[in-house]
A and B are shown apart, each in its own frame.
Chain A
Amino acid sequence: DAKTTQPNSMESNEEEPVHLPCNHSTISGTDYIHWYRQLPSQGPEYVIHGLTSNVNNRMASLAIAEDRKSSTLILHRATLRDAAVYYCILRDEYQGAQKLVFGQGTRLTINP
């Protein structure tokens, strides 16, 4: 399975933008880049995904490098509720099932 590399931890301030980087130098042409986050004592929660083009949704934006070897999750205006572990995942697929391989993720701390 293709792997991703993320910083172990990051810190930001409330109401400021946050850029969470992810390297995936061994990505294949058919791998989708997914981001999930896990709040304390909860199951992971889907954030966003993309293939080649930048993507936006109500939670975040995903910027994908032109060579697809890296991507950045952007939280435009962080709140205290965004404090979580963020996972960058390359989605593998078999018979329509998503085989997600989670790394250790980035623990994001938001300061008030």
Chain B
Amino acid sequence: DAGITQSPRHKVTETGTPVTLRCHQTENHRYMYWYRQDPGHGLRLIHYSYGVKDTDKGEVSDGYSVSRSKTEDFLLTLESATSSQTSVYFCAISEGVGGNSDEQYFGPGTRLTVT
């Protein structure tokens, strides 16, 4: 299994509070991603990173920010959590594209509930 951990694994928070989710990898992969998954849906890309301090938006980036100050850590922040952000959040990593680099490895997920 790829070395990807997410913390916390479960969190309950109140509307309006800031929340930070952490993704940590031990594979030294260049690319990291944050997805969210809602019941009955596939995953949707929130933000991704193509290097330290290099990030870009995915399809559902509103209300989220990210930071990557080290290769191994990718942080997802909800500045002011809303109930619509209740979801399961997955982090993923990849080496890049082409050949054996085409696999994306996913973490175990963080279940976030905003009350």
Point out residues on A near B: beta carbons under 8 Å. 1, 32, 34, 36, 42-46, 49, 87, 91, 93-105
User: Which residues from chain A contact B70 at a C-beta distance below 8 Å?
Assistant: none
Q: How far is the CA of A44 from the CA of B50 in the complex (A)?
A: 20
Nearest residue (CB) in A for B98 is A96
Whether B40 lies near A104 (C-beta < 8 A) is yes
Whether B94 lies near A44 (C-beta < 8 A) is no
Whether A100 lies near B45 (C-beta < 8 A) is yes
Q: Which of A34, A36, A42, A100 contacts B108 (CB 8 A)?
A: A42
Point out residues on B near A: beta carbons under 8 Å. 30-31, 33, 35, 40-45, 48-50, 56, 58-59, 90, 92, 94, 96-97, 102-109
Whether A100 lies near B31 (C-beta < 8 A) is no
User: Which residues from chain A contact B106 at a C-beta distance below 8 Å?
Assistant: 43-45
Nearest residue (CB) in B for A102 is B42
Whether B50 lies near A96 (C-beta < 8 A) is yes
Nearest residue (CB) in B for A44 is B106
Q: How far is the CA of A104 from the CA of B42 in the complex (A)?
A: 5
